[in-house]
Amino acid sequence: RKEVEQDPGPFNVPEGATVAFNCTYSNSASQSFFWYRQDCRKEPKLLMSVYSSGNEDGRFTAQLNRASQYISLLIRDSKLSDSATYLCVVISGGSNYKLTFGKGTLLTVNP
Protein backbone atom coordinates (compact mmCIF):
# COMPACT_ATOMS: atom_id res chain seq x y z
CA ARG A 1 0.00 0.00 0.00
CA LYS A 2 1.35 3.41 -0.94
CA GLU A 3 2.02 5.88 1.85
CA VAL A 4 -0.49 8.41 0.60
CA GLU A 5 -3.18 7.72 -1.98
CA GLN A 6 -5.62 10.14 -3.51
CA ASP A 7 -8.66 10.01 -5.75
CA PRO A 8 -7.12 9.97 -9.22
CA GLY A 9 -9.60 12.36 -10.81
CA PRO A 10 -9.89 14.36 -12.93
CA PHE A 11 -12.98 16.04 -11.57
CA ASN A 12 -15.02 18.23 -13.91
CA VAL A 13 -17.81 20.09 -12.17
CA PRO A 14 -20.06 23.06 -12.99
CA GLU A 15 -19.81 26.32 -11.13
CA GLY A 16 -21.68 26.17 -7.86
CA ALA A 17 -21.24 22.44 -7.39
CA THR A 18 -19.99 20.77 -4.26
CA VAL A 19 -17.01 18.49 -4.73
CA ALA A 20 -15.16 16.24 -2.30
CA PHE A 21 -11.69 14.73 -2.40
CA ASN A 22 -10.42 11.91 -0.25
CA CYS A 23 -6.93 10.83 0.63
CA THR A 24 -5.82 7.73 2.56
CA TYR A 25 -2.55 7.24 4.37
CA SER A 26 -0.85 4.04 5.49
CA ASN A 27 1.22 5.14 8.49
CA SER A 28 -1.02 5.11 11.54
CA ALA A 29 1.58 7.16 13.44
CA SER A 30 1.29 10.10 11.02
CA GLN A 31 0.91 13.31 12.92
CA SER A 32 0.07 16.23 10.67
CA PHE A 33 -2.02 16.60 7.57
CA PHE A 34 -2.48 19.31 4.98
CA TRP A 35 -4.17 20.14 1.72
CA TYR A 36 -2.11 22.03 -0.84
CA ARG A 37 -3.22 23.62 -4.06
CA GLN A 38 -1.10 23.71 -7.20
CA ASP A 39 -1.98 25.84 -10.19
CA CYS A 40 -0.70 24.91 -13.63
CA ARG A 41 3.06 25.49 -13.93
CA LYS A 42 3.25 26.89 -10.40
CA GLU A 43 4.59 25.61 -7.12
CA PRO A 44 2.26 24.03 -4.52
CA LYS A 45 0.87 26.38 -1.89
CA LEU A 46 -0.84 25.60 1.39
CA LEU A 47 -4.62 25.58 1.20
CA MET A 48 -5.33 24.47 4.74
CA SER A 49 -4.11 22.31 7.57
CA VAL A 50 -6.32 19.45 8.72
CA TYR A 51 -7.03 19.30 12.43
CA SER A 52 -8.33 16.33 14.38
CA SER A 53 -11.66 18.03 15.06
CA GLY A 54 -12.09 19.10 11.45
CA ASN A 55 -11.84 22.68 10.29
CA GLU A 56 -13.48 25.07 7.91
CA ASP A 57 -12.23 28.05 5.97
CA GLY A 58 -14.98 29.74 4.02
CA ARG A 59 -16.16 27.34 1.34
CA PHE A 60 -13.54 24.74 2.24
CA THR A 61 -13.91 22.05 4.91
CA ALA A 62 -11.23 19.58 5.88
CA GLN A 63 -11.83 16.43 7.90
CA LEU A 64 -9.58 13.82 9.46
CA ASN A 65 -10.65 10.27 10.26
CA ARG A 66 -7.83 8.60 12.19
CA ALA A 67 -9.66 5.30 12.63
CA SER A 68 -9.98 4.84 8.88
CA GLN A 69 -6.80 6.76 8.11
CA TYR A 70 -8.14 9.23 5.63
CA ILE A 71 -8.50 12.94 5.21
CA SER A 72 -11.02 14.75 3.07
CA LEU A 73 -11.53 18.13 1.48
CA LEU A 74 -14.96 19.50 0.65
CA ILE A 75 -15.39 22.50 -1.60
CA ARG A 76 -18.82 24.10 -1.63
CA ASP A 77 -20.17 26.51 -4.25
CA SER A 78 -17.26 25.88 -6.62
CA LYS A 79 -15.79 28.85 -8.47
CA LEU A 80 -13.91 28.93 -11.75
CA SER A 81 -10.87 30.03 -9.75
CA ASP A 82 -10.93 26.76 -7.78
CA SER A 83 -9.66 24.95 -10.88
CA ALA A 84 -6.30 23.51 -9.84
CA THR A 85 -4.63 20.33 -8.65
CA TYR A 86 -5.25 19.51 -5.00
CA LEU A 87 -2.57 17.63 -3.12
CA CYS A 88 -2.89 15.95 0.23
CA VAL A 89 0.22 15.95 2.39
CA VAL A 90 1.05 13.76 5.36
CA ILE A 91 3.87 14.23 7.80
CA SER A 92 5.23 10.87 8.88
CA GLY A 93 5.01 9.99 12.51
CA GLY A 94 8.21 9.52 14.42
CA SER A 95 10.46 11.99 12.71
CA ASN A 96 8.09 14.86 12.07
CA TYR A 97 10.31 15.71 9.17
CA LYS A 98 9.24 13.85 6.06
CA LEU A 99 6.44 15.33 3.99
CA THR A 100 4.77 12.81 1.73
CA PHE A 101 2.47 14.00 -1.02
CA GLY A 102 -0.39 12.30 -2.74
CA LYS A 103 -0.29 12.34 -6.53
CA GLY A 104 -2.88 15.07 -6.64
CA THR A 105 -6.37 15.42 -8.03
CA LEU A 106 -7.08 17.77 -10.91
CA LEU A 107 -10.24 19.81 -10.53
CA THR A 108 -11.76 21.75 -13.40
CA VAL A 109 -14.72 23.98 -12.65
CA ASN A 110 -16.71 24.78 -15.78
CA PRO A 111 -18.91 27.83 -16.45
Where on the chain is the footprint of another protein (CB under 8 A)?
31-32, 34, 42-46, 49, 51, 87, 89, 95-104
Based on CB atoms, which residue is closest to another protein, 82 or 86?
86
Based on CB atoms, which residue is closest to another protein, 26 or 31?
31
Rounded least distance, CB 28 to another protein, Å: 18
Rounded least distance, CB 11 to another protein, Å: 16
From first CA to last CA, the distance across the chain in angstroms is 37
Q: How many CB atoms lie within 10 A of CB 25?
A: 25
Based on CB atoms, which residue is closest to another protein, 68 or 95?
95
Beta bridge partners of 100: 90
69 within 8 A of 26, measured Cβ to Cβ: yes
91 phi/psi in degrees, rounded to 5:
-95, 125
Rounded least distance, CB 16 to another protein, Å: 29
Helix (H) or strand (E) holding 111: none
